[in-house]
Chain A
Amino acid sequence: IAYLAMYLFAEFDDAANLLAANPDATTISIDEPVEIPKNQHSHLQQTGREEDDELLGTNDSDKTELLAGQKKSAPFWTFDYYQTFFDVDTYQVLDRIKGSVFPVPGKNFVRLYIRSNPDLYGPFWICATLVFTIAVSGNLSNFFIHLGKPTYHYVPEFRKVSIAATTIYAYAWLVPLALWGFLMWRNSKVMNIVSYSFLEIVCVYGYSLFIYIPTAILWIIPQEVVRWVLMVFSLCLSGSVLVMTFWPAVRDDNRRVALVTVGTIVLLHALLSVGCLAYFFDAPEVDVPAPIIPAENGTVITKSQ
């Protein structure tokens, strides 16, 4: 409370000056984090730098950092520290999921939805759902593809669940770690205005994986063309969320470094989806005539593709 009071008094001078210059400016209320973007929006329009600041959020970066500091003040070995990462309501999680599926061009996912309240609920449970969805859909699609064949014996393929879990959780946690380390290192060399905390990067990656859940269910359809179209579509949607989030963080850097970074992000994302499609979903049947191999004892064995 003392920090909050000191901060309020420090801001009072700024607010007074701004109000004197602009009597119509709306004031900022701190206790409703969701309201801040709207108030910031009207304030920034009057200063005339709205496009840049919508993406970068320069004016509120120190405010949000101070607010973030207020919340995460418990030491990391207490339960309350981790409870601050689950401080989301149902409608907030649904809004974030919606924001990851329908990316608005020009709007930054982190600034718009995360707003210094990164949660671990979304990334963790979206990854868990994705693991089981891919395993179950892969199993179902293999079952339908091989259904009529006399030599086919259905197996639940339970091993693939653990493989899927390792892959997806490694992607959702190790790639943000590497990206965060890389951005911190570039930050020390080049003065970037936008910097994301590790949890915000984990959040963006976790929520961007949501589009793959309906994609995996639709991959049951045993048509190659349909599967590839779906994959490209979902890659575009989630890739655009990632690109729009991370482009402001690297664009002030060396041009080549920025392009390589963004390219790597998209490439890893594409590798994940291509790998999942190839490993968990068997290729649909192709109609080729099976070659006939004569066996030793005279019977003819047909080798199926």
Chain B
Amino acid sequence: FPGLTDVSISEDIPVEGEITVPVGSHSPDEDFSTLDEPVRDTIMRDLKAVGKKFVHVMYPKKSSALLRDWDLWGPLVLCVSLALMLQGGSADSRDDGGPQFAEVFVIIWFGAVVITLNSKLLGGTISFFQSLCVLGYCVLPLTVAMLVCRLVLLVGSGTISFIIRLVVVIAMFGWSTLASTAFLADSQPPNRKALVVYPIFLFYFVISWMILTFTPQ
């Protein structure tokens, strides 16, 4: 086949999977079923998948692992931990304090859904849950920033700690936006990329603002 001599698969796309040819009907015992394996194996497999995606977010390079095998465990864990860490501020005693747990949850999930709908309406080719998965996983740098901010606030809450927190939050905000753009930008039509990237920028900006303005009681 002369036309196929220059076709190659790029190295960084992991090719994995199973090729089985179903031959007639077979009893359920011969199927590969996850019911019989020890619980530890099941949990470790999912945890490893989540961990692998965390690594992909922190070192974003052209990889389709995040897109192909989407899962929403990671975003759920990140969202819950971020919302928990944003509690304990001046929210409890006053009326006009920081965001409640439910508000953080709603902002992250509703915001991610709206951005996904926006990119699909603009003609993107990514699927709904894949986009939710990417946006949720890219909250990881901001969760790390929240952790750092809380640790810095334990030490002191003066001007120096504010400057440290500002720098950390800005850096993590940039990292989140760049990571999610790296994963999502390819699936958009080329003359609408800015229209899709801007809402992602706004989304992470709002989360960064919530992190930066967190003041302990």
Contact = CB atoms under 8 A, between A and B. Distances in A.
B75 interface: no
B90 A86 contact: no
A155 B121 contact: no
Interface residues of B, number: 30
A91 interface: yes
Interface stretch (A16-24, A156-164, A230-238, A261-269): A156-164
Contacts of B198: 125
A155 B96 contact: yes
Contacts of A139: 213
Contact of B215 (A93, A132, A156): A156
B192 A89 contact: yes
Most B CB within 10 A of own CB, among A93, A139, A153, A155: A155
Contacts of A156: 89-90, 97-99, 210, 213-215
Nearest to B193: A90
Contacts of B215: 153-156
Contacts of B120: 79
B118 A121 contact: yes
A89 B118 contact: no
Contact of B97 (A83, A125, A132, A155): A155
Most B CB within 10 A of own CB, among A79, A153, A155, A158: A158
A50 to B, nearest CB: 32
Contacts of A85: 121
Interface residues of A, number: 25
Contact of B206 (A79, A91, A132): A132
A61 B213 CA distance: 51
Interface in B191-217: 191-195, 198-199, 202, 205-206, 209-210, 213-215
Contacts of B167: none
Contacts of B90: 153, 155-156
Interface in A114-148: 121, 125, 128-129, 132, 136, 139
Given A93-B195, A128-B202, A83 B99 contact: no
B48 interface: no
B122 interface: yes
Contacts of A160: 96
A93 B194 CA distance: 10
Given A132-B202, A155-B97, A158-B98, A90 B213 contact: no
A125 B199 contact: yes
A88 B195 contact: yes
A82 interface: yes
B95 interface: yes
A88 B189 CA distance: 11
Nearest to B94: A155
Interface of A: 79, 82-83, 85-86, 88-91, 93, 121, 125, 128-129, 132, 136, 139, 153-160
Interface of B: 89-90, 94-100, 103, 118, 120-123, 191-195, 198-199, 202, 205-206, 209-210, 213-215
30 contacts: A83-B121, A86-B122, A88-B192, A89-B192, A89-B195, A90-B192, A91-B191, A121-B121, A121-B122, A121-B195, A125-B202, A128-B199, A128-B202, A139-B213, A153-B215, A154-B213, A155-B90, A155-B94, A156-B90, A156-B97, A156-B98, A156-B99, A156-B210, A156-B214, A156-B215, A157-B96, A158-B98, A158-B210, A159-B95, A160-B96
